Structure 1
Amino acid sequence: MPLTGHCLCKAVTYTADVDAPLLTGYDHCDDCQRQSGSTYSLVCVVPSDKLTVKGPLKKWKGKADSGNAVWRWFCGECGSPIAHDPEGAPEIVALKGGSLATEIKKGLKPDTEIWTIGKLPFCQEHLEKPFKKMPQ
């Protein structure tokens, strides 16, 4: 079953013709924190030649620590992050896990953490009172 997903407004859709991601992990790099607006980005790495994207996709060119470019993909309508595409590894694209179809992302099992040097200290703590939703 291919991996499918879309942005918030559904203008950008994608299909990765794979049964499962090559890697599913938490990316703690500063750029992913900023792009996601959160403490990390859940990424699902797929082969770039297996990915088809449709819709008003925009790309922004950033720079990795290696000096290579990293293209950040997002919806040109709603701005939702879709993926990042590192020029240093042209064979892969890292899809943003939150953009996957709901039933697919419910089945994800992260197996890797990357850029843990950027992991924020409070992400290492387990909260005593987790909330299923917003606290009342």
Structure 2
Amino acid sequence: MGLSGHCLCGAVTYTVDAEPLVVGYDHCDDCQRQSGSTYSLVVVVPKDKLTIKGTTKSYAKNGSSGKPVHRVFCPECGSPIAHDPEAAPPIIALKGGTLSEADKKALKPDTEIWTVSKLPFCQEHLAKPFEHMPQ
């Protein structure tokens, strides 16, 4: 089956010739800052099964292992595409929001990581969900 996705402007596209190894919510502070949200939905795949087309940039910062984590993004629209930890060379963590609509809808998150950084108000179900922005 595999996966596919793209950035907001479409300048960067990717395909994965494999199923996800892990799908989860990453609560680490760096993912919160990169995503601009309370966590990042990550889809971990074998790096050798990922093909990226288009120009990307990356920003590297040391992770908790002391080794760099390369954060790959589109230089045109700024969409985060993946984070690539040198501490785990065989894998790469795609940003779930960049997957195709069909692939996103089929995701089944199965774990949470970095819950030590999970914000106290993050819950699975909030009391007042809105399908769209409230009027």
Smaller-chain TM-score bracket: over 0.9
Aligned length: 135
Matched with 1:15 is: 15
The alpha-carbon deviation at position 65 of structure 1 amounts to 1.2
CA distance, structure 2, for counterparts of residue 98 and residue 126 of structure 1: 19
1:1-136 aligned at under 5 Å gives the runs: 1-18=1-18, 20-124=19-123, 126-136=125-135
**For structure 1, which runs of at least 5 residues remain unmatched after alignment?**
none
CA distance, structure 1, for counterparts of residue 48 and residue 119 of structure 2: 33
Per the alignment, do residues 6 and 125 of structure 1 end up closer, same or farther by CA in structure 2, a change over 3 Å counting?
Answer: closer
The alpha-carbon deviation at position 127 of structure 1 amounts to 2.2
TM-score normalised over the length of structure 2: 0.97
Per the alignment, do residues 99 and 125 of structure 1 end up closer, same or farther by CA in structure 2, a change over 3 Å counting?
Answer: closer
Per the alignment, do residues 125 and 3 of structure 1 end up closer, same or farther by CA in structure 2, a change over 3 Å counting?
Answer: closer
Runs (4 or more) in structure 1 with deviation over 4 Å come to: none
The alpha-carbon deviation at position 72 of structure 1 amounts to 0.1
The alpha-carbon deviation at position 129 of structure 1 amounts to 1.3
Deviations, residues 48-73 of structure 1 (Å, cap 9, x unaligned)? 00001010110111110111100000
CA distance, structure 2, for counterparts of residue 128 and residue 84 of structure 1: 32
TM-score normalised over the length of structure 1: 0.97
**Identity fraction in percent:** 71
Per the alignment, do residues 135 and 16 of structure 1 end up closer, same or farther by CA in structure 2, a change over 3 Å counting?
Answer: same
CA distance, structure 2, for counterparts of residue 128 and residue 38 of structure 1: 19
CA distance, structure 2, for counterparts of residue 79 and residue 135 of structure 1: 27
Q: What RMSD in Å do the two structures reach over aligned CA positions?
A: 0.9
Deviations, residues 62-108 of structure 1 (Å, cap 9, x unaligned)? 11011110000000111100000000000000000000001110110
CA distance, structure 2, for counterparts of residue 124 and residue 51 of structure 1: 32
CA distance, structure 2, for counterparts of residue 37 and residue 127 of structure 1: 19
**For structure 2, which runs of at least 5 residues remain unmatched after alignment?**
none
